[in-house]
Amino acid sequence: MKLIVGLGNPGKKYQKTKHNVGFMAIDKFCDSHHLNLDSEKFMGSFTKTVINGESVILAEPLTYMNDSGRHVSQLAHFFKVEPEDILVIQDDMDLPMAKIRLRQSGSAGGHNGIKSIINGLGTKSFPRLKVGIKHPENATVVNWVLSPFAGEDAKAIDDSLDTVVEILEKFIAGESMNKLMNQYN
């Protein structure tokens, strides 16, 4: 079984913000499969389904970004999903806008949502799919991540999310992280 988690903050106020690119990715993937996050449990929304013969859970924590680990660890424990079968989709300010980078494991890199998941799972060894939101030029970090995508950035992110959906399809189908990293990094 695979667990794919998009990080973000709940509520309309945050819906299209840079920090919610993980939610946007899950929503786009769900739309492509005519799915809805129809269950609310463990402080988040999720759906459990079968895609191309593989059991998969798609999830969005509703705990706010900095406490995402509670939802992820409870889902993983309840459904007995191993860390290597958990893929977390996150924003990353250290990447250029809309750039995708896959990682097999690693530190939180200053991302509080990832830090919470590491604490919740008790390991750094879970895959991440990072989507670049670049560093702010004239804004504080908080104002930047909580602001919506605009202009060319919005188009670039939308195109990038198409690629994220493609990656998720391959991850669910069992392609190794090494192969995915070689293809998309």
The set of residues, in sequence order, having a beta carbon less than 8 Å from that of 150 and lying 6+ positions away, is none
Q: What is the DSSP letter of 17?
A: B
**20 labeled binding residue:** no
**112 labeled binding residue:** yes
H runs (alpha helix) in 13-111:
21-32, 68-79
The set of residues, in sequence order, having a beta carbon less than 8 Å from that of 118 and lying 6+ positions away, is 69, 107, 108, 124
Token representation of residue 114? 């990832």
Amino acid sitting at position 102: L
- Please spell the DSSP secondary structure of 64-106, one letter per residue: -GGGHHHHHHHHHHHHT--GGGEEEEEEETTS-TT-EEEESS-
34 an active-site residue?
Answer: no
Q: Spot the catalytic one: 19, 33, 77, 135.
A: 19
CB 98, CB 31: distance < 8 Å: no
**66 labeled binding residue:** yes
Per the annotation, binding residues are: 14, 64, 66, 112
Positions annotated as catalytic residues are 19
Per the annotation, binding residues for tRNA are: 14, 64, 66, 112
